Amino acid sequence: MVRKGGCLPETISRATRTHRFLILLFPAYVLLDWISFPHPHQAASVTSWTPLSGLGLFVLFRWGWKGLPLLFGARLFCDLVIRQGDAALPTVLWADAVVMISALLAWIAFRRPLKFEFAEPSLRRTLTFIAVAVGAALLMSLTYDVAMGKVGGGAWTEFVLIWFRRFVGDFIGILTVFPCLAIIEDWHGPNDPPSRLSTVNAVQAILVAAIAAVLFGWPEIDEFKTFYLLFIPMVWVSVTDGLVGAALVVFITQVALFGTISLVAAHPPGDYGTTHLMVITQVLTGLLLGTVVAERQRLQAVLRDSKASLMSVFDVVPDAMVTVHGDGRVRSLNPAAVWLFGLERDGGAGLKLDALLPELDLVQVRPRCVVETHAQRRDGRLVPVEVALDWTHQESGPMMALMARDISDRKSQEAELAGKQAELTLVSRRSITGELAAVMAHEINQPLTAIVNYIGVCQALAADGGQRELLTETLGKVARQAKRSSEIIRHLRRFLSQGDGMPTANALDKVADEAVTLIASDIRKAGVAVRVSIPAGLPTVLVDRVQIQQVLHNLIRNGIDAMVEAGTAAPTISVQAHIADGDPGEVTVTVADNGPGLSVEARGTLFTPFHTVKASGMGLGLSISRSIIEAHSGRLWFEPGQSGGAVFRFTLPIASTERDVS
């Protein structure tokens, strides 16, 4: 057999819950009426409190017109069954109708502001509720008294007294019953106030009820002198359970108190005014104290939550975070900090910050600026870190928050990169040195060939024996060619020896001329015209001469290769220099050709290592050139030429401040 069903909702819907609650209010109404009904033995016709005003207002407030039949029915039931007064039925109906009307008027007037906020209480909200309760009670009592013809029946002062008593009764009724019902209605609701209550609260409730009953039911006790005892459990509950506890304890107190007076009537209070004042004092004290306590509890909870979320952030961030007292002692560390500094778990608090970051000079570090330093690990290792910090001034004194990030990976990458860069520069330098050697070998072979030839001539002349003059002349030519060889060698040695030095002041025109001379044979072979037009009056530049010649060599070489490959007619490369437009401390050097220029794609990867458009070549020339120029605090960039061709420009720092303006 297959079981059906199983689809009952686990939680009762809000509508169902409120309807059940509405039905429960009928017996509640009757019960409250019974315990507060002025029994025949009592002298005064006015009840000491009017809990039904509070209940009626709550029903209207929650269900509007729809609650009216319930209220009216309950009222009529009480009049006919419980009170069993001797008044005629029409009079009873009229009196009940007036009660309904007075409640309706109060509801219409105050339905917007009437709200008891216990989930997120604040003093302002509670005071608003109290003020609205005053207004509603005034309106209800006045309406009732006027309608029931209490006006003009006797002395004017007597009417005010009656009306005031009724107002106080309504006021107490609203203050005690309305909050209590609002709380009970939310039972298992979104805020679920009772789940915050415990068995302690039940004990408290019983205690309160017992005290009230004893004080007012025991004939030997003068309740007016001992009333303050009721404050003790009320303050206790308010302080521990806030507004919810206060509202409930206030209600229980009143039920017990007035129930005792009405039912036992052992010692009916002689002076209702005094009782009212005491009750009002107790109710207001309870509600306000409960509000303040609840507000504080809520703030503490918010603080706790925000602290907890901050702590979870503190714990989870991968960077080390340390808080430090004003005296430089560590207050707390997050797990990343414990790990970074190689500390014991939960260790580190109380250490001097100097022990963790020995090189950090707090005076020098500006707040929120990142500085690089070293972290001292417990195992003695120093770890490069990036540190940022800021000071806050708390009530306990100044406190510093410090963040440290391990940058050893970045540092090693940087070192590796710098090594690679140096390596590349060296490779490039070797290649240029190799080319240079080939050029020099060629250059030096010319005078050597001439010498060999002249010596052949000399040998022939010497064998012949005659023509001594021609022999002498030829030997002179041999000497000249030998000197030419030594010049070439001297040039080469000068070039090779001046490579590694610090930047020195160099005349740019000489640097460029030499660079062009070095590849003169390539230039000649390619049939390219290279024009160097650098004004001789240009200030000297602070450069490593060989490196800048390498850059010029690379740029000229690229131009030659591009133009040869493209078969450019009348290929020309111009090398020019002038003082930079934007910066009088720099010289801009331009190397321009009239070749095919560069495609847009090629421009994108121009300075990327190992990207080349040449048939042969490693694609390092431009990236190395850029590194060299940047090492000279300059920039190297590409521009398309105005009439095609490629234009490379770079800047170099001027060596001296005094410049030849011409």
Partner 1 sequence: MTDGICIVDDDDAVRDSLSMLVLIKGYRPVAFASAEAFLAGFDPKGSCCVIADVCMRGMSGIEMLERLRETSPDLPVIIITAHGDVPTAVAAMKAGAADFIEKPYDNVVLLERIRQVVAQRDQGGLSSEVVRGIRERIDQLSRREREVLDLVATGVSNKVIAGRLGVSTRTVEIHRAHMMEKMGAEALSDLIRMVTTLDILSHRGVT
Which residues contribute to the site for partner 1 (CB under 8 A)?
Answer: 438, 441-443, 445-457, 460-461, 474, 477, 480-481, 484, 521, 524-525, 527
3-state secondary structure of 344: coil
State in angstroms the smallest separation of the CB of 556 from partner 1. Answer: 18
State in angstroms the smallest separation of the CB of 481 from partner 1. Answer: 5
Nearest CB to partner 1, comparing residues 371 and 455: 455
Nearest CB to partner 1, comparing residues 197 and 526: 526
Q: Which residues contact 272 (CB under 8 A, 6 or more apart)?
A: 44, 46, 48, 165
State in angstroms the smallest separation of the CB of 484 from partner 1. Answer: 7
Nearest CB to partner 1, comparing residues 480 and 603: 480
State in angstroms the smallest separation of the CB of 453 from partner 1. Answer: 3
Instruction: Provide the 10 A C-beta neighbour count for residue 639.
Output: 13
Nearest CB to partner 1, comparing residues 42 and 521: 521
Tracing tokens 């940047």 back to the chain, one arrives at 630
- The two tokens of residue 226 are 């001992």
Nearest CB to partner 1, comparing residues 147 and 457: 457
Nearest CB to partner 1, comparing residues 2 and 615: 615
Say how many Å lie between the first and final Cα of the chain, rounded.
112
Nearest CB to partner 1, comparing residues 425 and 431: 431
Helix or strand (DSSP H, E) at 546: helix 545-566
Nearest CB to partner 1, comparing residues 15 and 615: 615
Cα-based angle 547, 551, 557 (whole degrees, multiple of 5): 135
Nearest CB to partner 1, comparing residues 92 and 448: 448
B/e letters for 432-447, b = 16+ CB within 10 Å, e = fewer, are bbebbeebbeebbeeb
State in angstroms the smallest separation of the CB of 454 from partner 1. Answer: 5
Q: Which residues pair with 650 in a beta bridge?
A: 589, 636
- The two tokens of residue 297 are 């509890």
- Distance separating alpha carbons of residues 596 and 641, to the nearest angstrom: 10
- Amino acid identity for residue 409 in this structure: D
- Amino acid identity for residue 287 in this structure: L
**Residue 75: Cβ-neighbour burial (10 angstroms; 0-12, 13-18, 19+):** buried
Q: Which residues pair with 403 in a beta bridge?
A: 321, 388
State in angstroms the smallest separation of the CB of 571 from partner 1. Answer: 14
8 A C-beta contact, residue 180 and residue 193: no
State in angstroms the smallest separation of the CB of 527 from partner 1. Answer: 7
Cα dihedral 7, 10, 11, 13 in deg (nearest 10) = 10
State in angstroms the smallest separation of the CB of 442 from partner 1. Answer: 4
- Measured between alpha carbons, how far is residue 169 from residues 62, 228, 606 in Å? 22, 20, 93
Three-state SS sequence of 376-431: ECCCCCEEEEEEEEEEEEECCEEEEEEEEEECHHHHHHHHHHHHHHHHHHHHHHHH
State in angstroms the smallest separation of the CB of 466 from partner 1. Answer: 12
State in angstroms the smallest separation of the CB of 562 from partner 1. Answer: 21
Nearest CB to partner 1, comparing residues 413 and 449: 449
- Distance separating alpha carbons of residues 418 and 510, to the nearest angstrom: 30
| Strand arrangement of the beta sheet that strand 586-593 belongs to | 529-533, 572-579, 586-593, 646-653, 636-640
Nearest CB to partner 1, comparing residues 316 and 452: 452
State in angstroms the smallest separation of the CB of 464 from partner 1. Answer: 8
Nearest CB to partner 1, comparing residues 226 and 453: 453
State in angstroms the smallest separation of the CB of 320 from partner 1. Answer: 53
Nearest CB to partner 1, comparing residues 273 and 527: 527
State in angstroms the smallest separation of the CB of 433 from partner 1. Answer: 18
**Residue 291: Cβ-neighbour burial (10 angstroms; 0-12, 13-18, 19+):** buried
- The two tokens of residue 446 are 């010319």
3-state secondary structure of 279: helix
8 A C-beta contact, residue 130 and residue 284: yes
- Distance separating alpha carbons of residues 659 and 583, to the nearest angstrom: 13
